[in-house]
Chains A and B, each alone.
Chain A
Amino acid sequence: MGILSAIVFVPLAGALAVLVVPEKKRNVIQAISVMASLVSLALSVWLLARFDVSVAGVQFAEKTGWIPLFNVHYFLGVDGLSILLVALTTLLSFLAVVASLHIELRIREYFFWFLLLETGMLGVFLSLDFFLFYVFWEVMLVPMYFLVGIWGGPKKEYAAIKFFLYTLFGSVFILLGMLGLYFASDPHTFDMIELAGQASRFAFGFQIAAFLAFYLGFAIKIPAFPFHTWLPLAHVEAPTAVSVLLAGVLLKMGVYGLLRISYPILPQATRWFLFPLLIIAVINIVYGAFCAMAQKDMKRMVAYSSINHMGYCLLGMVAVAGSNAAAGLSGAVFQMVTHGLITGSLFLLVGVIYDRAHTRNIDDFGGLGSRLPVFTALMTVQAMASLGLPGLAGFISEFLCFLGAFGTAAYRVFVVVAVIGIVVTAAFLLKLIKDVFLGKFNEKWAGLTDMNARELIAVVPLVILTVYLGLQPHVALRMMEATVSQIAMIFKAG
């Protein structure tokens, strides 16, 4: 078994192990879960260290036959597009497990579904066979349904089934599109690399149809306007640790799918759809920001800010045919990572205050800064990163996205409109800080305590990485450079 299989299936082994432990042995269940996610994290750190940044193609590939009749392979591999997302997933999963250690309700089931979810997410980023990709893509939905539906907020059951139905609706079209590609390719294959090699075979009309089918599935995950309505509900109802993964990892899958599948395999259709994508990106940025501004609930605010932030990814991606293609694409990939770090930590921090105060309403707080200094400091740094303060990671990725899109003359007007989004984001995040941490202290919260060790372990690594990547972005950017320029080349040549 290769390193990639190990990364994917160690959490699954942990999930199965948890299942046979009696519910009463809390410590054993927690230890297994922490270990499983920690091993996966350690392996992915090892992978980062061994990753060869000069190679554009796939590394650490594992390929064996699986279903010969349909030419399906068990094909895992990692390249510049996925390496950072894999590391992000294992890191956030581990931290989310740590952040979940205080859960008491049905913990055996909780960690079972949680680790299963981790396997699904890692599988999506690592599979290079479309069939395998789809299997992982769907496998992920099931644990998410249970995690939201059992451990969520007041409207958890509705949120759970809405999430499941919504995403299943999108993914069945991916299934049809993938079958269409299979029968259009010759020899028939589900291998993404081979399919990209055959891209010139696919007729333009077919490409458009396939692109639309995939887009429906991916746009729901991103979520791109107008398919975003499931997101605020699911985010708000999900338990903290699950919100972290939902925002930090699951949302990336839509963008990742576009970059991994739609762009290389359907380049002609992609070129045709760049302009509509730009419009959707601008709507996501501006509309998401305004929606976030209108929220009183901190969690909802962060959820809407995700719609805004995923808009930046789309903005960077539409740069692909312009003169700053590489910058835009790197920005999009890097934005996925930084959004994972920043928004993941923001959800954890909102969870910290909610666990104590049992409310997330901004108006209920005030002047917390003097009572909870550590919490305030961490929250402020991450909010600043989220609004794109230079020196923190969010700035670099957003800047690259804008720079990329600016490279196409026709897009400049829209890029300028998108800047409104940045301003509004800054406004609502600063207002959040003002209303919660500054001003008059509400005596009702006199009993609040600052963050405990478990919470600090979950949040601090993310804050450190946010600062580090803000100061040393090239550490991350050079990992994706070769792969990103390869994608940009497809569009230069055509």
Chain B
Amino acid sequence: MNLLWITPEIFLSAAALLLFAGNIRRRRIAVGFTMMALVMAGILVLKFIYENGSVLETAAVDGMSAFFKLLLLAGMSLSLGLANDSAEMKEISWGTFCGVWLLSTVGLMMLAASLDLILVVVSLELIGISSFILTGFLKREKRSMEAAIKIFLVGALSSALFIYGISLVYGALGSTSLAALAGFSFQGPDRLCLVGGLLFVIAGLGFKLAVVPFHMWVPDTFEGAPTPVTAYLSVAPKIAALALLVRALPFHGAAGLSPLLAVLAVASMTLGNLAALRQTSVKRLLAYSSIAQMGYILLGFVAAGTLGLSSVLVYSAAYLFMNLGAFACLIAVSNESGSDRLESFDGLARRSFPLALLATVFLLSLTGIPPMLGFVAKFSVFAAAISERWFLLSVIGVLNSVVSLYYYFRIVHSMFFSEPSSSVPIRWSWGLSGCLVVSALITVLAGLWPAGLLAWVQQVVP
């Protein structure tokens, strides 16, 4: 046992407590401090990147947890940059906001490293409660309150399902460790109890991943939450939950879970894409698109094996940067227009060509057009599915990609083809441009030269 290995989490928690205690109201101080804390935590994670062990058999410290922790820290710092520059977040108590932000980061990092279902529950609660607070942070806005209530109720429901599930799993296995779950053969007398428990666990995680049919809360919550928080909600909790699934599911082939996951994947892709076609709010459009994107990721779990699981990691990385980039563009536009309607993108190419070009990069990546990172992600997912002979599923998947082009390109259409609705130039600020530039660089460069990312992922996948 080596408690030093969890210094990043301890460090972040301490920083959060400092922020609460200091009751800082100045934005610059709070955000600057938090940014530094996130970077420091990243450096600490890097320090243990070659370790391979666990803390108390509960939290893994290995290549994969380092991969996901770094990804999550990157996501949290980029979306904090968005929060810093969003016009919605003017008069809030920044110390509290940043403290909750850091606590939720701790929850996410622990979830990504969990080896025991009890730790999973604790971290899920930490993420759930902090998401609820962040969503409702605009106390004077009705929509923010409504979204907070929704995410609270759904969070409570999913936790209940999850905890009930692990109680059944414990009944069958006599243990809550993921290792015991992986080693269990599905021939024993407790089979039914175990499978039932797993189904509840999957349903509980399904809410976090927002896959169909556990997705109903997403559009309203995403629309009501402050946009930077929506950006956070759309990537961080999902990626942490994916990390847990990668650890927990390698055994699933034996349980025959692949067909079930395949159904969830098809439902998510198809319903997400079809619903996105009709949206007029870009925020809602991105909400439905995130549902569809999770469907593609699930294909990696359906295929399983090293190829399937590594495709999940690649897709997680791609999704994080391209989705945050898309949200950054939305915030840049709506800061000026005060609206997230599609029309506020009208003629963006003539108001700010660089921004329109960056937005196009992210949307192309979300569609899966080369040479963006999103293409590499889709390519790996479909490669995994084809290698395991899931042909029909792959066909449904690629057809869904074609459908998604239509709604992603409605934004491109309005940016490049429509007349500008206003001539006010777009203001660039540090946090926003930082997020845009970093996401775009990674989306393009890692798309052109994916060898490094793929090799890293290959190394850390179990």
Residues of A in contact with B (beta carbons under 8 Å apart): 65-70, 106, 108-109, 134-135, 138-139, 141-142, 145-146, 149-150, 156-157, 160-161, 164-165, 168-169, 172-173, 175-176, 179-180, 182-183
- Tell whether, in the assembled complex, residue B371 and residue A67 are in contact, meaning their CB atoms are under 8 Å apart: no
Residue-wise, chain B 384-415 has the 8 Å CB interface mask toward A (1 for contact) of 00110001001100110110011001000100
- Tell whether, in the assembled complex, residue B406 and residue A161 are in contact, meaning their CB atoms are under 8 Å apart: yes
- Tell whether, in the assembled complex, residue B409 and residue A176 are in contact, meaning their CB atoms are under 8 Å apart: no
Distance, CA A108 to CA B349, complexed state (A): 12
- Tell whether, in the assembled complex, residue A142 and residue B413 are in contact, meaning their CB atoms are under 8 Å apart: no
Within the complex, the shortest CB–CB distance from A31 to chain B, in Å, comes to 20
Within the complex, the shortest CB–CB distance from A142 to chain B, in Å, comes to 7
Of the listed residues A134, A149, A168, the one surrounded by the most CB atoms of chain B closer than 10 A to its CB is A168
Q: Indicate whether A66 sits within 8 Å of B387 (C-beta atoms), given known contacts A164-B405, A176-B395.
A: no
Q: Give the residue of B383, B405, B450 whose beta carbon is less than 8 angstroms from that of A168.
A: B405
Which residues does chain A contribute within 8 Å of B424, judged by CB atoms?
A: none
Q: Indicate whether A142 sits within 8 Å of B402 (C-beta atoms), given known contacts A66-B451, A176-B394, A176-B395.
A: no
Residue-wise, chain B 339-360 has the 8 Å CB interface mask toward A (1 for contact) of 0000000000110010000000
Distance, CA A182 to CA B387, complexed state (A): 9
Which residues does chain A contribute within 8 Å of B399, judged by CB atoms?
A: 169, 172
- Tell whether, in the assembled complex, residue A67 and residue B405 are in contact, meaning their CB atoms are under 8 Å apart: no
Which residues does chain A contribute within 8 Å of B449, judged by CB atoms?
A: 66
Distance, CA A149 to CA B418, complexed state (A): 10
Distance, CA A134 to CA B391, complexed state (A): 19
Q: Give the residue of A139, A173, A180 whose beta carbon is less than 8 angstroms from that of B371.
A: A139
Which residues does chain B contribute within 8 Å of A180, judged by CB atoms?
A: 386
Which residues does chain B contribute within 8 Å of A175, judged by CB atoms?
A: 379, 382, 398
Which residues does chain B contribute within 8 Å of A69, judged by CB atoms?
A: 451, 454-455, 458
- Tell whether, in the assembled complex, residue A142 and residue B369 are in contact, meaning their CB atoms are under 8 Å apart: yes
Q: Indicate whether A182 sits within 8 Å of B383 (C-beta atoms), given known contacts A161-B406, A161-B413.
A: yes
- Tell whether, in the assembled complex, residue B386 and residue A179 are in contact, meaning their CB atoms are under 8 Å apart: yes
Residue-wise, chain B 405-446 has the 8 Å CB interface mask toward A (1 for contact) of 110010001001100000000000000000000000000000
Indicate whether B370 reaches chain A with its CB closer than 8 angstroms.
yes
Residues of B in contact with A (beta carbons under 8 Å apart): 349-350, 353, 364, 369-371, 375, 379, 382-383, 386-387, 391, 394-395, 398-399, 401-402, 405-406, 409, 413, 416-417, 449-451, 454-455, 458
Distance, CA A65 to CA B416, complexed state (A): 37
Distance, CA A195 to CA B364, complexed state (A): 30
Which residues does chain A contribute within 8 Å of B391, judged by CB atoms?
A: 176
Distance, CA A317 to CA B370, complexed state (A): 31
Within the complex, the shortest CB–CB distance from A167 to chain B, in Å, comes to 10
Within the complex, the shortest CB–CB distance from A19 to chain B, in Å, comes to 8
Which residues does chain A contribute within 8 Å of B401, judged by CB atoms?
A: 168, 172
- Tell whether, in the assembled complex, residue A179 and residue B398 are in contact, meaning their CB atoms are under 8 Å apart: no
- Tell whether, in the assembled complex, residue B379 and residue A141 are in contact, meaning their CB atoms are under 8 Å apart: no
- Tell whether, in the assembled complex, residue A109 and residue B353 are in contact, meaning their CB atoms are under 8 Å apart: yes
Which residues does chain A contribute within 8 Å of B395, judged by CB atoms?
A: 176
- Tell whether, in the assembled complex, residue A150 and residue B416 are in contact, meaning their CB atoms are under 8 Å apart: yes
- Tell whether, in the assembled complex, residue A161 and residue B451 are in contact, meaning their CB atoms are under 8 Å apart: no
Question: Can you list 5 A-B pairs with a CB-CB distance of less than 8 A?
Answer: A146-B416, A157-B413, A161-B409, A183-B383, A183-B386
- Tell whether, in the assembled complex, residue A165 and residue B451 are in contact, meaning their CB atoms are under 8 Å apart: no
Q: Indicate whether A149 sits within 8 Å of B416 (C-beta atoms), given known contacts A134-B370, A176-B394, A183-B387.
A: yes
Please name the 5 residue pairs, one residue from A and one from B, whose CB atoms are nearest each other, closest first: A172-B398, A135-B370, A179-B386, A69-B454, A169-B402
Distance, CA A69 to CA B370, complexed state (A): 18
Q: Give the residue of A141, A157, A169 whose beta carbon is less than 8 angstroms from that of B369.
A: A141
Q: Give the residue of A67, A164, A172 whose beta carbon is less than 8 angstroms from that of B450.
A: A67
Within the complex, the shortest CB–CB distance from B180 to chain A, in Å, comes to 32
Within the complex, the shortest CB–CB distance from B304 to chain A, in Å, comes to 16
Within the complex, the shortest CB–CB distance from A209 to chain B, in Å, comes to 8
Q: Please name the residue on chain B nearest to A131 by beta carbon.
A: B379
Within the complex, the shortest CB–CB distance from B252 to chain A, in Å, comes to 22
Distance, CA A357 to CA B449, complexed state (A): 50
Which residues does chain B contribute within 8 Å of A70, judged by CB atoms?
A: 383, 454
- Tell whether, in the assembled complex, residue B398 and residue A67 are in contact, meaning their CB atoms are under 8 Å apart: no
Within the complex, the shortest CB–CB distance from A138 to chain B, in Å, comes to 5
Distance, CA A111 to CA B409, complexed state (A): 21
Which residues does chain B contribute within 8 Å of A139, judged by CB atoms?
A: 369-371
Distance, CA A35 to CA B405, complexed state (A): 34
- Tell whether, in the assembled complex, residue A149 and residue B413 are in contact, meaning their CB atoms are under 8 Å apart: yes
Within the complex, the shortest CB–CB distance from B156 to chain A, in Å, comes to 41
Distance, CA A160 to CA B406, complexed state (A): 11
Distance, CA A68 to CA B371, complexed state (A): 17
Within the complex, the shortest CB–CB distance from B256 to chain A, in Å, comes to 23
Distance, CA A145 to CA B408, complexed state (A): 13
Q: Give the residue of B353, B370, B406, B416 whose beta carbon is less than 8 angstroms from that of A138.
A: B370
Of the listed residues A68, A176, A183, the one surrounded by the most CB atoms of chain B closer than 10 A to its CB is A176
- Tell whether, in the assembled complex, residue B398 and residue A176 are in contact, meaning their CB atoms are under 8 Å apart: yes
- Tell whether, in the assembled complex, residue B386 and residue A157 are in contact, meaning their CB atoms are under 8 Å apart: no
Of the listed residues A135, A156, A175, A180, the one surrounded by the most CB atoms of chain B closer than 10 A to its CB is A175
Which residues does chain B contribute within 8 Å of A176, judged by CB atoms?
A: 382, 386, 391, 394-395, 398
Distance, CA A493 to CA B121, complexed state (A): 66
Distance, CA A160 to CA B383, complexed state (A): 30
- Tell whether, in the assembled complex, residue B454 and residue A67 are in contact, meaning their CB atoms are under 8 Å apart: yes
Distance, CA A341 to CA B102, complexed state (A): 64
Which residues does chain B contribute within 8 Å of A179, judged by CB atoms?
A: 382-383, 386-387, 394
- Tell whether, in the assembled complex, residue A149 and residue B417 are in contact, meaning their CB atoms are under 8 Å apart: yes
- Tell whether, in the assembled complex, residue B451 and residue A68 are in contact, meaning their CB atoms are under 8 Å apart: yes
Which residues does chain A contribute within 8 Å of B353, judged by CB atoms?
A: 108-109
Which residues does chain A contribute within 8 Å of B398, judged by CB atoms?
A: 172-173, 175-176
Which residues does chain A contribute within 8 Å of B364, judged by CB atoms?
A: 142
Q: Please name the residue on chain A nearest to B353 by beta carbon.
A: A109
Which residues does chain A contribute within 8 Å of B369, judged by CB atoms?
A: 138-139, 141-142, 168
Which residues does chain B contribute within 8 Å of A66, judged by CB atoms?
A: 449, 451
Further contacts, 19 of them, CB under 8 A, given A141-B369, A160-B417: A65-B451, A68-B451, A69-B455, A69-B458, A109-B349, A134-B370, A139-B369, A139-B371, A146-B416, A149-B413, A165-B406, A168-B402, A172-B399, A172-B401, A173-B398, A176-B386, A176-B398, A180-B386, A183-B387
Within the complex, the shortest CB–CB distance from B443 to chain A, in Å, comes to 14
Which residues does chain A contribute within 8 Å of B402, judged by CB atoms?
A: 165, 168-169, 172
Distance, CA A146 to CA B415, complexed state (A): 11
Within the complex, the shortest CB–CB distance from B203 to chain A, in Å, comes to 31
Within the complex, the shortest CB–CB distance from B213 to chain A, in Å, comes to 26
Q: Please name the residue on chain B nearest to A179 by beta carbon.
A: B386
Q: Indicate whether A157 sits within 8 Å of B417 (C-beta atoms), given known contacts A139-B370, A164-B409, A176-B386.
A: yes
Q: Please name the residue on chain A nearest to B350 by beta carbon.
A: A106
Which residues does chain B contribute within 8 Å of A109, judged by CB atoms?
A: 349, 353
Within the complex, the shortest CB–CB distance from A71 to chain B, in Å, comes to 11
Distance, CA A172 to CA B368, complexed state (A): 10
Of the listed residues B349, B391, B395, B405, the one surrounded by the most CB atoms of chain A closer than 10 A to its CB is B405
Within the complex, the shortest CB–CB distance from A130 to chain B, in Å, comes to 12
Distance, CA A156 to CA B417, complexed state (A): 10
Which residues does chain A contribute within 8 Å of B382, judged by CB atoms?
A: 175-176, 179
